[in-house]
């Protein structure tokens, strides 16, 4: 187990520092904005992208991610150190995404412009395939979006945010096996939708 | 059958290599005998590769400030408890005039917070440390003597720091390393707790033992020189051996924010003397030249590259090692791989370069090769990397890795090389250069200027849009990320006449600059939106909409529809229609009417197809269905008036497209269509409900059936409609039962 207390005992009866995060969280709980900003710095990209892939709207995703951190700041004293700080952030983000999608489906007219401008980080391999990639990217985002909510969130967390099953289960308030089955079924559906692109993707 | 189900739950973990060995075997042997699960496994692998085509977006600069603004607006800032105390501290700190005074203050403060007996002196020989105590952070200046106690957490940020203890033991802390040092006792010199990062120790001879503790276990030392890495997702700036030789001072280090969640590996490599790793009641000695790796759950394992020249052997050995370390832990393989590979330091370079040049199977991720090479390599690799990058005989992925490494080792110098290559290269290589330089924040003012010049020329000469370089150049100009390019981009914004250049430049400015930069870019774009050329107008407006906030977008929507109505160019009309629908603008209905009134079948058909595609979007689905219905009424009325068969055909196209709708988000609008006066629309709605309806729709359909039967309306289609409704109810009931299971 990662969380054992034995190997790195800590002096003065303080709980074992989980490292940088818990130090920062403690400082933030005391009202230290610098520490809180360091936490934002560390997690904002992951949270923005998590929301972006849920709602497929980059600028709205940023607004919502800001909301996540504001909420986090307001409630930081209630944060329970038994969970990872990041898990807690994802829990907030999941709820905001749910609200957003629900509200959007209620007022279908009042929509945001899908993000045309944001060019994804181009650090990956082959620029020669850049154009074909763009098309595939759109197909992928559409396919992911069409998944049922639970499957979609589990898949985004697992595939794009690289979270372990345990953390996904905690953030989605379920157990690991359920998460695994959501991911498996979701990926099967995605395969059906995207199999036309398999061969272009050597 | 049930066996397959349990196996399948683990397949995803199996593909990612996250499964413990004991669980791997049953999966593997099941796969041997079960072609269906084998097929499922292949599908998982293939889908994973495609899913990663959807890359991350980069949040705009100023994110943190925006959050802070919002928090301040809420006015809760002052109500946080303990706030005063913190504030006092900062006020105190700012009041201090010089670093020397600050230093003194830190010493006094540190000494006063704990009883004197637990405090000890350390010296900071070089570098900057941030010192944390009682949850407060203080910056300590370079050089000086400090009192510390058990709780004093010392942390390096972007630079190294060298400490020495009272007995002259030297601790070299790499970037982003966190540790504290505990109290000595009769037998021990105290423990160094390495929470994260990488340290190199030169331990003075001393009869008492010194322990290095990490989460994974502890290391016992008498007198020796050795290195300890305790790493997870991120590596220190320089890996073990490279830090000895000392790299160039201006070297660019890839971003690395310490991430505290998850799995860590500790590696120890000894230069001189010997150390012992103590792990769960066993002792593992480590001699000079040896390397050992361990974690909380993995027992200490010696590792080294196999001798000889066989590269495949070495690579396979490493892969095996990485697999072994991934057992039973949910963690990112690649990070452990980086930690292990980087602990080899420069020794690993020939292997990685060999892979880039000769490895045909593509089993190594090029992005990841270039990350490690960027860390352990130095500029002496440049000739070799340049040769790979230029030559078409290497795989494009690995050429790209070479190009990334050029920048990774030293961004300004690498950029210079790429720009030189660009001048005399074929189209593929040129594209590779641009794609690599895209979005690099620190290539330097001179290179940025050169790059912008090249891009502007490419865009202006790109009359032929099929020229593959044209699009890359447009993207690359918008992706300029080095702040030093801002003045040049402004100049383009002011003086440039080619609208495509202006669009790309304003995107870059808006991305890099602050609020006022954004405003300036928008002003120029609004001017462009008055251009005579419809296409220029439209392009400007599309760009504005990407940069504007929500209110700005709504204001723009009106303008868009006006352009669409006024323009005679079908392309412009279509683009306006599409964007207006995306904006949810009611006037989009006007525009569609106008398009249908053009009496141009091709144009109308294209519009219908565009709208039909939008029904798959969650946010637009309902609106798109309404648009289609509205188009249907227009066309049918036209047909009734003029008896033109083309109008009827197009209306048929609409019902046909409607029936293909799969998105449940359009359901509320589809239900509305059941009340339509057009029998064909009602029929289509019934068919859609049969496919994607929910439980309540059985009831809705029954009500409709009763209405059709009793009122006999809508006229003329009763018989077939009734039959269709009955079928729909049946279908829906069966599929719902099925779905419930």
State pLDDT tens for residues A123-150.
333 444 555 667 788 888 888 988 888 8
Give the chain B residue whose CA is nearest to the CA of A115.
Answer: B546
- B43 CB neighbours in chain A (<8 A) are 187-188, 191, 195
Q: Would you state the pLDDT for residue B420?
A: 92
Interface size, chain A vs chain B, as Cβ–Cβ contacts under 8 Å: 304
Are A136 and B53 a contacting pair at CB < 8 A? yes
- A37 CB neighbours in chain B (<8 A) are 64, 68
Whether A28 has its CB under 8 Å from any CB of chain B: the answer is no
DSSP conformation letters of B247-289 = --TT----------SS--EEEEEEEES-EEEEETTEEEEE-TT
Domains of chain B (ranges; CATH) run 2-51 (no CATH), 61-95 (no CATH), 96-326 (2.60.120.1440), 609-741 (no CATH)
Are B56 and A121 a contacting pair at CB < 8 A? yes
Determine the Cα–Cα distance for residues B428 and B419; give it in Å rounded to an integer: 14
Q: Give the best residue of B5, B13, B27, B59 to mutate against chain A (max A CB count within 10 A).
A: B59
- What would the two tokens of residue B177 be? 């390393």
Nearest to A115 by CA among A52, A64, A54: A52
Q: What SS3 state is found at B146?
A: strand
Q: Would you state the pLDDT for residue A69?
A: 92
Whether A105 has its CB under 8 Å from any CB of chain B: the answer is yes
Query: Between A202 and B277, where is the model more confident?
Result: B277
How would residue A113 be classed by pLDDT, with cut points 50, 70 and 90? very low
Determine the Cα–Cα distance for residues B462 and B498; give it in Å rounded to an integer: 11
Length of chain B in terms of residues written: 741
Are A70 and B74 a contacting pair at CB < 8 A? yes
- A167 CB neighbours in chain B (<8 A) are 261, 330
DSSP state of B265: E
Distance from the Cα of A62 to chain B's closest Cα (Å) equals 7
Distance from the Cα of B74 to chain A's closest Cα (Å) equals 9
State the helix-helix crossing angle for B333-343 and B311-326, rounded to 10 degrees: 130
Q: Would you state the pLDDT for residue B428?
A: 82
Are A112 and B44 a contacting pair at CB < 8 A? no
Are A20 and B401 a contacting pair at CB < 8 A? no
Q: What SS3 state is found at B133?
A: strand
At B209, phi and psi to the nearest 5?
A: -90, 155
The closest CB to that of A2, out of B50, B263, B507, belongs to B263
Q: What SS3 state is found at B577?
A: helix
Residue B724 burial by Cβ neighbours in a 10 Å radius (0-12, 13-18, 19+) = buried
Beta carbons of B43 and A188 less than 8 angstroms apart: yes
Are A40 and B620 a contacting pair at CB < 8 A? no
Are B12 and A117 a contacting pair at CB < 8 A? no
Give the chain B residue whose CA is nearest to the CA of A73.
Answer: B71
Are B59 and A1 a contacting pair at CB < 8 A? no
Question: Ramachandran region of residue B143, left (φ > 0), alpha (ψ -120 to 50) or beta?
Answer: left
Distance from the Cα of A75 to chain B's closest Cα (Å) equals 11
Beta carbons of B407 and B414 less than 8 angstroms apart: yes
Give the chain A residue whose CA is nearest to the CA of B10.
Answer: A180
The closest CB to that of A198, out of B11, B50, B404, belongs to B50
Q: Would you state the pLDDT for residue A52?
A: 92
Q: Would you state the pLDDT for residue B419?
A: 92
Collect all residues with Cβ–Cβ distance below 8 Å to B551 and sequence separation of at least 6. none
DSSP conformation letters of B188-217 = EEEEEEEEEEEEEEEPPP-SSEEEEEETTE
Determine the Cα–Cα distance for residues B69 and A69; give it in Å rounded to an integer: 12
Q: Would you state the pLDDT for residue B259?
A: 32
DSSP conformation letters of B592-629 = HHHHHHTT-HHHHHHHHHHHHHHTTSTTTHHHHHHHHH
Sort strands B188-202 and B209-214 into parallel, antiparallel or unpaired.
parallel
Q: Would you state the pLDDT for residue B402?
A: 92
Whether A30 has its CB under 8 Å from any CB of chain B: the answer is yes
Q: Would you state the pLDDT for residue A2?
A: 39
Determine the Cα–Cα distance for residues B736 and B717; give it in Å rounded to an integer: 28
Q: Would you state the pLDDT for residue A20?
A: 74
ipTM of the complex: 0.80
First to last CA, chain A: 39
Q: Would you state the pLDDT for residue B312?
A: 64
State pLDDT tens for residues A139-187.
888 889 888 888 999 999 999 998 889 899 988 888 888 899 899 989 9
- Residue B89: which H helix or E strand, with range? helix B83-95
State pLDDT tens for residues B125-167.
877 788 776 556 665 656 777 777 777 888 877 667 888 887 7
Q: What SS3 state is found at B152?
A: coil
**CA triplet B123, B126, B131: central angle to 5 degrees?**
60
Give the chain B residue whose CA is nearest to the CA of A69.
Answer: B67
Collect all residues with Cβ–Cβ distance below 8 Å to B224 and sequence separation of at least 6. B201, B203, B270, B272, B273, B274, B275
Are A180 and B13 a contacting pair at CB < 8 A? yes
Sort strands B301-302 and B291-294 into parallel, antiparallel or unpaired.
antiparallel
Beta carbons of A54 and A90 less than 8 angstroms apart: no
Give the chain B residue whose CA is nearest to the CA of A125.
Answer: B397
The closest CB to that of B545, out of A67, A85, A113, belongs to A113
Q: Would you state the pLDDT for residue A115?
A: 27
Are A41 and B64 a contacting pair at CB < 8 A? yes
When computed from its CA atoms, the radius of gyration of chain A, rounded to whole angstroms, is: 19
- A122 CB neighbours in chain B (<8 A) are 55, 435, 438-439, 475, 479
Q: Looking at chain A from residue 120 to 139, which residues have their Cβ under 8 Å from any Cβ of chain B?
A: 120-128, 130-131, 133, 136-137
Are B550 and A112 a contacting pair at CB < 8 A? yes
Q: Looking at chain A from residue 75 to 94, which residues have their Cβ under 8 Å from any Cβ of chain B?
A: 84-86
Q: Would you state the pLDDT for residue B739?
A: 60
Task: Render the burial of B525-538: b for 16+ CB within 10 Å, e for the rest.
Answer: bbebbeeeebebbb
Give the chain A residue whose CA is nearest to the CA of B65.
Answer: A37
Domains of chain A (ranges; CATH) run 18-112 (1.10.1740.10), 126-202 (1.10.10.10)
Q: Looking at chain A from residue 37 to 66, which residues have their Cβ under 8 Å from any Cβ of chain B?
A: 37, 40-42, 44-45, 48-49, 52-53, 56-58, 61-62, 65-66
Q: Would you state the pLDDT for residue B89?
A: 30
C-alpha neighbours within 13 Å on the C-beta side of residue B618: 21
Q: Give the best residue of A96, A122, A137 to mutate against chain B (max B CB count within 10 A).
A: A122
Beta carbons of B403 and B389 less than 8 angstroms apart: yes
Are B51 and A108 a contacting pair at CB < 8 A? no
The closest CB to that of B63, out of A20, A44, A118, belongs to A44
- Residue B17: which H helix or E strand, with range? none
pTM here is 0.44
Distance from the Cα of B623 to chain A's closest Cα (Å) equals 6
Determine the Cα–Cα distance for residues A91 and A94; give it in Å rounded to an integer: 5
Nearest to A54 by CA among A85, A2, A16, A90: A90
Distance from the Cα of A24 to chain B's closest Cα (Å) equals 8
Q: Would you state the pLDDT for residue B231?
A: 52
> How many other C-beta atoms are found inside a 10 Å radius of the C-beta of residue B176?
22
- What would the two tokens of residue B684 be? 């289509």
Give the chain A residue whose CA is nearest to the CA of B580.
Answer: A113
Are A7 and B260 a contacting pair at CB < 8 A? no
Nearest to A120 by CA among A133, A105, A103: A133
The closest CB to that of B44, out of A69, A131, A187, belongs to A187
Determine the Cα–Cα distance for residues B721 and B167; give it in Å rounded to an integer: 95
Q: Would you state the pLDDT for residue B648?
A: 86
Tell me which residue has tokens 């203050």: B105
Whether A176 has its CB under 8 Å from any CB of chain B: the answer is no
The closest CB to that of A184, out of B9, B66, B586, belongs to B9
- A114 CB neighbours in chain B (<8 A) are 582, 617, 619
Distance from the Cα of A140 to chain B's closest Cα (Å) equals 6
The closest CB to that of A201, out of B50, B546, B616, belongs to B50
Dihedral angle, C-alpha A202, B4, B10, B16, nearest 10 °: -20
Task: Return the beta strands (E) in chain A as ranges.
Answer: none
CA distances in angstroms from B619 to A118, B507, B588, listed in the order given: 19, 25, 16
Whether A146 has its CB under 8 Å from any CB of chain B: the answer is yes
Residues of chain B with confidence (pLDDT) below 50: 1-2, 75-117, 232-263, 327-334, 741
Collect all residues with Cβ–Cβ distance below 8 Å to B557 and sequence separation of at least 6. B580, B583, B585, B587
């Amino acid at each position: 187990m990662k969380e054992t207390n034995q190997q790195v005992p800590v002096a003065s009866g303080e709980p074992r520092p989980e490292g940088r995060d818990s130090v920062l969280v403690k400082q933030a709980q005391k009202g230290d904005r610098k520490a809180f900003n360091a936490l934002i710095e560390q997690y904002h990209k992951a949270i923005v992208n998590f929301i972006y892939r849920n709602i497929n709207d980059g600028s709205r995703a940023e607004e919502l991610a800001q909301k996540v951190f504001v909420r986090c700041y307001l409630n930081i004293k209630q944060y329970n150190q038994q969970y990872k700080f990041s898990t807690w952030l994802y829990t907030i983000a999941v709820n905001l995404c749910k609200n957003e999608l629900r509200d959007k489906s209620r007022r279908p007219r009042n929509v945001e412009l899908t993000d045309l401008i944001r060019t994804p980080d181009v650090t990956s391999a082959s620029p020669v395939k850049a154009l074909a990639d763009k098309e595939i990217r759109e197909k992928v985002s559409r396919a992911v979006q069409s998944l049922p909510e639970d499957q979609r969130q589990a898949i985004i967390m697992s595939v794009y945010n690289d979270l372990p099953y345990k953390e996904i289960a905690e953030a989605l308030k379920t157990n690991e096996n359920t998460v695994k089955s959501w991911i498996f079924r979701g990926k099967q559906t995605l395969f059906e939708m995207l199999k036309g692109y398999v061969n272009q993707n050597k | 059958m049930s066996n397959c189900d349990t196996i399948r739950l683990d397949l995803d973990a199996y593909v990612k290599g996250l499964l413990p060995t004991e669980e791997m075997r049953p999966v593997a042997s099941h796969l041997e005998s079960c072609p269906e699960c084998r097929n499922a496994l292949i599908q998982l692998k293939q889908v994973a590769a495609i899913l990663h085509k959807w890359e991350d977006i980069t949040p705009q600069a100023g994110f943190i400030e925006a959050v802070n603004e919002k928090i301040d607006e809420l006015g809760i800032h002052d109500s946080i408890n303990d706030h005063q105390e913190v504030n006092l501290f900062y006020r105190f700190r700012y009041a201090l005039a010089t670093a020397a005074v600050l230093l003194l203050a830190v010493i006094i403060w540190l000494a006063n917070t704990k009883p004197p007996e637990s405090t000890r002196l350390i010296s900071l020989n070089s570098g900057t440390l941030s010192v944390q105590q009682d949850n407060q952070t203080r910056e300590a200046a370079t050089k000086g003597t400090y009192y510390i106690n058990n709780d004093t957490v010392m942390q390096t940020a972007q630079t190294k720091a060298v400490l020495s203890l009272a007995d002259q033991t030297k601790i070299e802390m790499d970037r982003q390393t966190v540790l504290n040092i505990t109290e000595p006792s009769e037998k021990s010199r105290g423990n160094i707790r390495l929470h994260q990062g990488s340290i190199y120790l030169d331990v003075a001879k001393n009869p008492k033992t010194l322990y290095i503790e990490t989460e994974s276990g502890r290391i016992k030392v008498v007198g020796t020189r050795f290195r300890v890495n305790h790493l997870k997702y991120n590596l220190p700036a320089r890996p073990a051996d490279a830090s000895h030789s000392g790299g160039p001072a201006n070297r660019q280090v890839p971003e690395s924010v310490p991430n505290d969640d998850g799995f860590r590996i500790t590696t120890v490599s000894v230069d001189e003397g010997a150390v012992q790793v103590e792990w769960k009641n066993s002792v593992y000695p480590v001699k000079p030249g040896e390397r050992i790796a361990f974690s909380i759950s993995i027992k200490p394992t010696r590792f080294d590259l196999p001798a000889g020249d066989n590269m495949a052997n070495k690579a396979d050995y490493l892969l095996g090692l990485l697999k072994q370390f991934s057992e039973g832990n949910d963690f990112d393989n690649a990070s452990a791989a980086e930690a292990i590979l980087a602990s080899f330091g420069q020794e690993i370079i020939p292997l990685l370069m060999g892979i880039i040049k000769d490895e045909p199977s593509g089993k190594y991720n090029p992005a990841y090769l270039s990350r490690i090479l960027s860390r352990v390599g130095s500029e002496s690799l440049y000739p070799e990397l340049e040769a790979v990058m230029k030559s078409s005989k290497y795989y494009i992925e690995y050429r790209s890795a070479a190009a990334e490494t050029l920048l990774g080792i030293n961004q300004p110098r690498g950029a210079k090389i790429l720009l030189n290559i660009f001048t005399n290269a074929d189209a593929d290589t040129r594209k590779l250069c641009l794609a690599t330089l895209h979005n690099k924040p620190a290539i330097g003012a001179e290179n940025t200027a050169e790059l912008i010049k090249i891009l502007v020329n490419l865009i202006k000469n790109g009359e032929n849009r099929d020229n593959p370089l044209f699009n890359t150049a447009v993207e690359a100009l918008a992706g300029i990320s080095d702040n030093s390019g801002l003045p040049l981009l402004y100049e383009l914004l002011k003086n440039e006449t080619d609208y495509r250049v202006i669009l790309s430049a304003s995107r870059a400015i808006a991305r890099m600059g602050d609020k006022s930069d954004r405003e300036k870019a928008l002003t120029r774009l609004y001017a462009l939106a008055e251009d005579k050329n419809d296409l220029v107008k439209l392009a400007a407006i599309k760009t504005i909409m990407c940069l504007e906030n929500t209110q700005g977008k709504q204001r723009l929507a009106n303008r868009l529809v006006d352009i669409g109505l006024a323009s005679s160019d079908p392309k412009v009309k279509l683009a306006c229609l599409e964007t207006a629908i995306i904006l949810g603008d009611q006037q989009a209905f006007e525009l569609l009417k106008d398009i249908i009134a053009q009496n141009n079948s091709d144009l109308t058909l294209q519009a219908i197809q565009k709208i039909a595609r939008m029904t798959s979007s969650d946010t637009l689905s309902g609106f798109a269905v309404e648009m289609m219905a509205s188009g249907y009424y227009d066309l049918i009325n036209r047909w009734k008036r003029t008896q033109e068969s083309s109008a009827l055909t197009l209306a048929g196209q609409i019902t046909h497209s409607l029936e293909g709708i799969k998105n449940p988000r359009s359901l509320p609008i589809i239900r509305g269509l059941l009340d339509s006066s057009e029998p064909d629309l009602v029929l289509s709605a019934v068919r859609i409900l049969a496919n994607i309806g929910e439980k309540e729709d059985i009831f809705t359909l029954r009500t409709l059936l009763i209405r059709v039967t009793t009122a006999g309306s809508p006229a003329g289609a009763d018989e077939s409609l009734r039959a269709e409704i009955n079928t729909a109810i049946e279908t829906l009931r069966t599929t719902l039962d099925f779905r419930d299971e």
